[in-house]
Chain A
């Protein structure tokens, strides 16, 4: 006998699988990106079923709300020629099989681990607020890895900004300081003259 939540699980899972297939098969890159958004959404739905509301909402907030928006932003402006992209498909194929094999082995190793026993998942689901639970663990047991991750992100941000700053100076941006300093006399000159006779 299937419970109502089982139906919801299969509903989200089937959407997730279909959307993921669409990501790699769609002809239009914009459709691929939007399918990825749908896939993230369905994954968030499945996480909600596991009572992992913090992770689910964070997935929507970070990946759907920020990362994919910027992705779409770029994809929409690119004029991608799919024919030239498809050209090397068969020459890359063995390499792709190799990577897929490595992934499958890795996923098998992770899922067959003791953390993924059903009893473990149940025990997590009963805790009251998992935002509290994650915060507690993150800032006590895993404080150092968390800080290291934060510093790596900071370095990435700084380097990304530095790349745009020390490149070519072809932009026409004006320093806001100079804009504020502008006075009326810098821009206009009132000329007084007598009216001329005809």
Chain B
């Protein structure tokens, strides 16, 4: 694409322009997936609870997310009188920006990646770790006790589960011997038996549960806990400002699912060696993982706050540490091939 643009434009502009087009090619599908993930969520949970869910707008209700987006666009943004104006508007931006920035290093297919950097895994971790600022600042700037309590809960939860999540990624990078996400997928070549979810099975489970907690999804959604603190950190937000939080939450959900697929389920590799690899495998696996998020929300009751903290600090972190030592020890034995 860069060569094509260089025929018409100045070389520096051509490179910038090519990157812009690539960025749009990632962001727009992400936004559309977010919209239809909300539709899918409402339908799936509806069926799980013997309801129908949205089915009026368009064919099978397929235009419902677009109607919702339009509704949110035209709603008034209410600014609480005693809030901190600047930070109140900064918070939604701080929560959507890292959720989208992390997509820069995600490989969708062989060499189909915006920024093929060496420390891709670290970059993703860094981006997901700064997403918490949106939540904290929103809670503080709203000047409301419910919002503040919600943001404190969420901050504590995200910081605790980030550690367990980071340790599971240590296991993956020990096996793959690389921090580059593309190389991690390439290391899982050769069918379903080579995927890292088998040698790192406990880490895979812990990663997935931590991912649910990181994204503040049920059953770990004490940050929103509507029965206790109304709607948590975004209780004072309306219209587009609320929609940005909503977008960030779902974009993060898709992001952690795609990371689970890349690191543990072989990315774009096909599960059987006789079938071709390709981006459709990645999308199918991501859809499968995302379904679990919806299933969890429909099934499990909300955790109590102290139970969440206990699970994170006293169960997950020791377990991941033990498994990292175990993997390291196994790599020195004759069974090392199973851990590569």
Report which A residues bind B (CB closer than 8 A): 4, 30, 34, 37, 53-54, 57-58, 60-61, 64-66, 69-70, 72-73, 76-77, 128-129, 131, 173, 176
Q: B130 within 8 Å of A by Cβ? A: yes
Rounded to whole angstroms, the CA-CA distance of A69 and B307 in the bound complex is: 22
B123 touches A57 (CB 8 A): yes
Interface of A is mostly: helix
B122 — which chain A residues lie within 8 A by C-beta? 54, 57-58, 61, 131
Q: B66 within 8 Å of A by Cβ? A: no
Rounded to whole angstroms, the CA-CA distance of A64 and B137 in the bound complex is: 14
Rounded to whole angstroms, the CA-CA distance of A54 and B140 in the bound complex is: 32
Instruction: With CB as the reference atom, state the residue of chain B lying closest to A30.
Output: B140
Best-buried of A65, A72, A128, A176 by chain B (most CB within 10 Å)? A65
Other 11 A-B pairs with CB < 8 A, given A34-B137, A76-B140, A76-B148: A4-B12, A37-B133, A54-B119, A54-B122, A60-B130, A65-B126, A66-B129, A66-B159, A72-B136, A131-B118, A173-B306
Instruction: With CB as the reference atom, state the residue of chain A lying closest to B127.
Output: A60
Min CB gap B15→A, angstroms: 11
B155 touches A53 (CB 8 A): no
The 8 closest A-B pairs by CB, nearest first: A65-B129, A61-B126, A60-B126, A129-B118, A57-B122, A76-B140, A57-B126, A53-B119
A30 — which chain B residues lie within 8 A by C-beta? 87, 140
B119 touches A61 (CB 8 A): no
Q: B70 within 8 Å of A by Cβ? A: no
Q: B117 within 8 Å of A by Cβ? A: yes
Instruction: With CB as the reference atom, state the residue of chain A lying closest to B12.
Output: A4
B132 touches A69 (CB 8 A): yes
- 22 A–B contacts, CB within 8 A, in A order: A30-B140, A34-B137, A37-B133, A53-B117, A53-B118, A53-B119, A57-B119, A57-B122, A58-B122, A60-B129, A61-B129, A64-B126, A65-B129, A65-B130, A65-B162, A69-B132, A76-B148, A128-B118, A129-B119, A129-B179, A131-B118, A176-B310
8 A Cβ contacts from B127-168 to A: 129-130, 132-133, 136-137, 140, 148, 152, 155-156, 159, 162
Q: B125 within 8 Å of A by Cβ? A: yes
